[in-house]
Chain A
Amino acid sequence: MPDFKRAVVRLVGSGEPEIGCDECFKELDRYVELELDGVDADAAVPGMRAHLAGCPACREDHESLGAFVRSTRPS
Chain B
Amino acid sequence: MSALPSEASVASMVSVVGALDTPVPRAAPLLDRESREWLVSLNGHGPGRDAAIARLHALLLHAAQFEVARRRPTLPHVRGNEFEDIACEAADDALVSVLARLGDFRGASRFTTWVYKFALYEAAAKLRRRAWQGREVPLEAESWEAFTDGASDTAAEVERRELLATVKDGIARRLTPHQRTVLVALAVNGVPIDVLAERLGTTRGALYKTLHDARRSLRAGLAESGLDLKLTESGGGDANA
A71 vs chain B, min Cβ distance (A)? 7
A66 vs chain B, min Cβ distance (A)? 10
Let me know if B218 and A11 touch, CB within 8 A. yes
Query: Is the C-beta of B72 less than 8 angstroms from some C-beta in chain A?
Result: no
* The residue from A5, A27, A61 contacting B120, defined by CB atoms under 8 A apart: A61
Let me know if A64 and B215 touch, CB within 8 A. no
Chain B residues with Cβ below 8 Å from A68 are: 63, 66-67, 116, 120
Chain A residues with Cβ below 8 Å from B160 are: 1, 4
Query: Chain B, interface size: which category?
Result: 35 or more
Interface residues of B in 194-216 (CB under 8 A from A): 194, 204-205, 208-209, 211-212, 215-216
Chain B residues with Cβ below 8 Å from A69 are: 113, 116
Q: Which of A11, A13, A54 has the most CB of B within 10 A?
A: A11
Chain A residues with Cβ below 8 Å from B190 are: 56
B132 vs chain A, min Cβ distance (A)? 12
Query: Is the C-beta of A75 less than 8 angstroms from some C-beta in chain B?
Result: no
If A4-B237, A64-B124 touch, whether A20 touches B212 (CB-CB below 8 Å) is: yes
If A28-B117, A56-B192, A61-B117 touch, whether A12 touches B218 (CB-CB below 8 Å) is: yes
Let me know if A30 and B193 touch, CB within 8 A. no
How many A-B pairs have beta carbons closer than 8 Å: the answer is 125
Q: How many residues of A contact B (CB 8 A)?
A: 42
Q: Which residue of A lies closest to B236 (CB)?
A: A5
Let me know if A22 and B205 touch, CB within 8 A. yes
CA distance A26 to B238 in the complex (A): 34
Chain B residues with Cβ below 8 Å from A6 are: 237
Query: Is the C-beta of B126 less than 8 angstroms from some C-beta in chain A?
Result: no
If A56-B192, A68-B66 touch, whether A14 touches B113 (CB-CB below 8 Å) is: no
Stretch at the interface among B2-10, B81-89, B227-235: B227-235
Chain A residues with Cβ below 8 Å from B167 are: 8, 11-12
Chain A residues with Cβ below 8 Å from B229 are: 8, 12, 15
Q: Which residue of B lies closest to A30 (CB)?
A: B108
Chain A residues with Cβ below 8 Å from B212 are: 13, 18, 20, 54
Given contacts A12-B222, A18-B212, 10 further A-B contacts (CB under 8 A): A4-B148, A9-B231, A13-B212, A33-B113, A54-B215, A57-B193, A64-B67, A65-B120, A69-B113, A69-B116
Chain A residues with a Cβ under 8 A of chain B:
1-16, 18, 20-22, 25, 27-30, 32-33, 49, 53-57, 60-61, 64-65, 67-69, 71-72
Between A and B, 11 residue pairs with Cβ closer than 8 Å are A5-B237, A7-B147, A8-B229, A8-B237, A10-B187, A12-B218, A20-B212, A21-B204, A53-B233, A61-B121, A69-B116
